[in-house]
Amino acid sequence: MKRALITGVTGQDGMYLSRLLLSKGYEVYGLVRGQNNPKIDLVREWAPDVTILTGDLLDQSSLLRALNIAKPDEVYNLGAISFVAYSWENAQLTSQVTGLGVLNILEAIRLYSGDDASKVRFYQASSSEMFGRVQEVPQRETTLLWPRSPYGVAKVFGHYMTINYRESYGMHASSGILFNHESPLRGPEFVTRKISLAVARIALGLQESVSLGNIEAKRDWGFAGDYVEAMWRMLQQDHADDYVISTGETYSVQHFLDIAFNHVNISDWEKHVFQDPKFFRPAEVDLLIGDSTKARTTLGWEPQVSFEQLVTMMIDADLEREKRSKA
């Protein structure tokens, strides 16, 4: 039986990945930060067989302790401060957790592994935010990185540190450059879930409108459940490497709104949507679209859920949730 340790197990990706690994027969350990973290209950409900360990990416001895307990064959580093807008307000903390945190876990693995550099396989959650002011369209593994937010800068640090540990110590350390990926488990601060929740509530007469930022922004949006499969496949390869994971299609926030409102039979959605300067960002990432040819050919990975299916899946889940809480 293989063993895996997931940092950030309480997040959307951690939840999908833990179910995937459990379904493959893994013994799964999830690292959770903070005292009496309320998200632990969500994980327990979603994947009861995950063993919860407490630890923090900023506390290296807690990482070593977690490695000694979990004795993992694979470590998936999904823990991060991941909300881009927040990273301008908390740039140092984001740099420490999202950037230095990667070094802390890599170094903990190196110490834990002793002379056997290949003892633990490592996955780093890199991000399309690293491409920022895009230098090439579509973006691929070789595209010059030009991050546009403190979050993006921190992810670049983690990305290169992962490559450095692979090259310096021969560690099986891979990096997935994941474009936006969403699901009904997405946090409500991210635009897709903010919209799906609002549209469900507007359709049920529980809310009148929603305030958003730049609705012309475009993203390459996929389904988180598909993307965690790519993470796992990366660690099953003989050689560690970096891969772009994306759908290759890009849509505006406006288009997301079109499909979302249309799904609940509201065609004149403009009267329900306001733009509020407080949701605009100091710097925007304009046109993210990924070329995942390498992942498709080497890993045999393909996204299964289309953009429209993703939007309607999220709306349906929020309609259900809201109806249940109303009842």
Q: Given the complex with ligand F7E, which of 274 and 302 has the nearer CB atom? A: 274
CB of 266 to ligand F7E, least distance (A): 19
Q: Given the complex with ligand F7E, which of 74 and 129 has the nearer CB atom? A: 129
CB atoms near residue 23 (< 10 Å): 9
CB of 182 to ligand F7E, least distance (A): 8
Binding characters for ligand F7E, 191-230, by CB under 6 A (x = yes): xx-x-----------------xxxx-x-x-----------
CB of 85 to ligand F7E, least distance (A): 6
Question: Which is the catalytic residue, given 87, 127, 183, 246?
Answer: 127
Give the binding range for ligand F7E (CB under 6 A) out of 16-24, 36-44, 277-285, 303-311. 277-285
User: Do 51 and 30 meet the contact criterion of CB atoms below 8 Å apart?
Assistant: yes
CA dist 217 and 253 (Å) reads 6
Query: Which amino acid, residue 35?
Result: Q
Binding characters for ligand F7E, 81-100, by CB under 6 A (x = yes): -x-xx---------------
Going along 33-114, which residue ranges are E strands?
51-54, 74-77
Q: Given the complex with ligand F7E, which of 54 and 214 has the nearer CB atom? A: 214
User: What is the full DSSP assignment across 204-225?
Assistant: TTS-S-EEES-TT-EE--EEHH
Q: Which DSSP letter does residue 34 get? A: S
Within 13 Å, how many C-alpha atoms sit on residue 276's CB side? 9
| Contacts to ligand F7E from residues 134-193, by CB under 6 A | 179-180, 189-192
Give the binding range for ligand F7E (CB under 6 A) out of 18-26, 80-88, 112-120, 302-310. 80-88
**Residue 11 structure tokens:** 């997040």
Provide the CA 113 distance to its chain's centre, in angstroms: 27
Phi, psi at 231, each rounded to 5°:
-60, -50
16 catalytic per annotation:
no
165 catalytic per annotation:
no
Distances in whole angstroms, Cα of residue 237 to Cα of each of 122, 295, 325? 12, 11, 44
Question: Which is the catalytic residue, given 27, 74, 129, 182?
Answer: 129
Q: Is 125 helix (H, G, I), strand (E, B) or coil?
A: strand
Please report which helix (H) or strand (E) contains residue 320, including its range: helix 307-326
Give the binding range for ligand F7E (CB under 6 A) out of 40-48, 79-87, 198-206, 261-269. 79-87
127 catalytic per annotation:
yes
Q: Given the complex with ligand F7E, which of 108 and 210 has the nearer CB atom? A: 210
253 touches ligand F7E by CB under 6 A:
yes
Provide the CA 292 distance to its chain's centre, in angstroms: 16
Q: Which residues bind ligand F7E (CB under 6 A)?
A: 82, 84-85, 127-129, 179-180, 189-192, 194, 212-215, 217, 219, 253, 279, 281, 284
Annotated active-site positions, please? 127, 129, 151
